[in-house]
Structure 1
Amino acid sequence: MSDVHTSPVLSGDPRDVLTVAAGKAGVPTAEATLIRDGANVTYEMAGGVVARVGPPGSQPAAARQIQASRWLADAGIAVVRAVDDIDQPTVARTRPVTWWVQLPEHRHATPAELGAALGRLHALAVPESPSFPVVNPFEGLRESIDGGTALSEDDRGWLRDLAKRLHDEYSTLTTSRPRCVIHGDAWQGNVVVPRAGGGPVLLDLDHVGIGPREWDLVSLTVDYTDFARLTDSDYQAFVDAYGGYDMTTWSGYRTLATIRELRWTAFVLGKAKTSPEAARQVRHRVACLRGEIERPWTWSAF
């Protein structure tokens, strides 16, 4: 999740950026259809190609996505594939555009399928080359909180203190944890299964890096413990498919769970400047984090 907010005049309208980049890459734009307008703006193109227009200045991150896709595929992991015959990323008006092979019709992974996919990913040896970055769960958090004028200064001060406490706890907890290649934003929507058959495929490689396996396991686990979105059997299937490790038994679980929930809150805080619904939701989420609302929580999706 990203909280980048840049003037369209400076960053370039995504459709204009796409047109310029497509001209450089030799990709036709006549049938380009918007799929998703987020931190990355995604378009379906003709010929089975998907284009992702990244935020301004994010060329290094875009290059790492391409690198991660090719390395994971070579390592035997089913992953969204970058188009091979285009020099990537293509930069236009400070924004990188990456080009991907469109997936067939697909669905989100089940908890068991997600667990199995993460088990295969985490079993890979950490490579010397390419050199993946160390995943930082706190990246961008302070900036999001400071810029979150939809909240009172009291709430923002409380969130700053929470982020600092969690950062200190995380540093202590993970110093001795084994490191592996992690997805960095692993949830059921970022691992999909083709409806025509085949195994789970990893998507959205923006946060692939090196870190503790627990950071990949925590999102689904929080859905179970704090939001009651999973049944006991679904969660157990996730644990079993991963290899039997239930991270709720780890003493550091609550710290990582709260970090993930704080990131989800900060994401909506970034949207609250222009969305009254997001402003209401972020205040609700802060009330949950502050202990004013008992679990299980209900948070609206954004």
Structure 2
Amino acid sequence: MTEPRPGGYSNAELTALIAQAHAELRLGDDEQHQLLRGHTNAVVRIGPAVIKIARKGTAAEAVERTIALVRWLQDHDFPTVPLHPHAEQPLRLTGGALATVWTYYPQPPEPVTATDLAAPLFALHRLPAPPVPVRALDNLRAIRRSLAATRTLDTDELSFLTDRADRLEHALTRVQYALAPGIVQGDPQHRNALHDTAGDRTVLCDWDTLAHGQPEWDLVTVEIHCRRFGHDPNEWSGFAAAYGLDITTWPGYETLRDIRELRMITTNARKAAHTPGSLSEVQRRIKGLREQEHGLLWSIL
């Protein structure tokens, strides 16, 4: 079986980067490291700190922009996991690797629910424009980039996904949005949020996807995660009630739903060559699209 490559790094490369980060942060020798996530970036806990090593090849400007935006969020007392206060940002590691350093929040047994996401997302969508340039959210452009870079699907699968993108791009021109554009998280979901240390509010994390766009994209993303990944149906109804809008009753819902699901599939198709075991799940999702199985449960990748 192909060796998993968290963040695009081999096990040997990642081990060396973690050791370097450990030394530069001057953490005690008794602090063990724990890989928390490794699909896109490599996210590693070392004692009181969480090190997020950007995917191999990530531009320094992108990492620096994320740091500036999170500092702006912190200045606005926004509920975000904070950058570690005593660490250089970004941490510059061997071979041009870059890492951000965050405060570790131990979590209670109760996981974050979709309902918990409503308050911070509502607040995010109403923030003023930040002083840092923010990219425009463009899901269709991201889909086409992924399709152009995908080497794991056959011609028929690629043709099906490309035709679907074409039809959805045309449908999107007819969508009339209900909300004012603003700052969006880009990928709000259960795994991109934590309980804070006091346990009385939910804080968002993983800000690499922050963008300027329509809040409806964030709302439909939460709905997809609730429906596709087997969460209690009450989570979605609780989120919609707490946020104040049920996106599934909005006329543009189906178009945004289909585009957002297509992006989730094509992103994982592009990464499948470096993520052992994910191709079969991608192909199962594509089959579900062909058969219009909107209730098909997906496996987390």
Alignment identity in percent? 27
1:41-52 aligned at under 5 Å gives the runs: 41-46=42-47, 48-52=48-52
CA contact (8 A) 1:35 1:43 kept: yes
CA distance in 1, matches of 2:161, 2:6: 20
**CA deviation map 1:93-120 (0-9, x unaligned):** 1221111111122453222221122112
Partner amino acid, structure 2, of 1:86:
A
CA distance in structure 1 between the aligned counterparts of 2:39 and 2:8, rounded to whole angstroms: 15
Aligned to 1:109: 112
> How far apart are the structure 1 equivalents of 2:6 and 2:235?
38
The alignment status of 1:270 with 2:273, answered yes or no, reads no
1:178-236 Cα deviation digits (max 9, x unpaired):
211111111122122247522001111111121100111012223456677442x4322
Q: Identify the residue that residue 249 of structure 2 maps to in structure 1.
A: 249
State TM-score, norm by structure 1: 0.83
CA distance in 1, matches of 2:37, 2:230: 28
* One-letter code aligned to 1:248: T
Which string of whole-angstrom CA distances, capped at 9 and with x for unpartnered residues, describes residues 235-263 of structure 1?
A: 22211211x21112222211211122112
Identify unmatched segments of 5+ residues in structure 1. none
Deviations 1:19-53 (A, max 9, x none): 44555x4444843332222211011113x111111
Name the structure 2 match of 1:153.
155
What SS class does the counterpart of residue 97 from structure 1 fall into?
strand
Q: Cα–Cα, structure 1 residues 29 and 284, in superposed 2: closer, same or farther, change >3 Å?
A: farther
The two structures, once aligned, show a CA RMSD in angstroms of 3.0
Structure 2: how far apart are the matches of 1:189 and 1:275? 19
**1:126 counterpart letter in structure 2:** A
Count of matched residue pairs: 292
**Residues 108 and 215 of structure 1: CA distance in aligned 2, closer, same or farther (over 3 Å):** farther
Q: TM-score, normalised by structure 2?
A: 0.84
Structure 2 CA distance for aligned equivalents of residues 223 and 26 of structure 1: 36
Q: In structure 2, do the counterparts of structure 1 residues 58 and 176 end up closer, same or farther at CA, with 3 Å as the change threshold? A: farther
Post-superposition shift, 1:288?
A: 1.4
CA–CA separation in structure 2 for the residues paired with 1:144 and 1:96 = 23
Residue in 2 that maps onto 1:95: 97
Structure 1's consecutive aligned runs of 4 or more residues displaced over 6 angstroms after TM superposition are: 4-7
Aligned to 2:67: 66
Instruction: Give matches, 1:17-36, under 5 Å.
Output: 17-21=17-21, 25-28=24-27, 30=29, 31-36=32-37
- Give ranges in structure 2 of 5+ residues lacking alignment: none
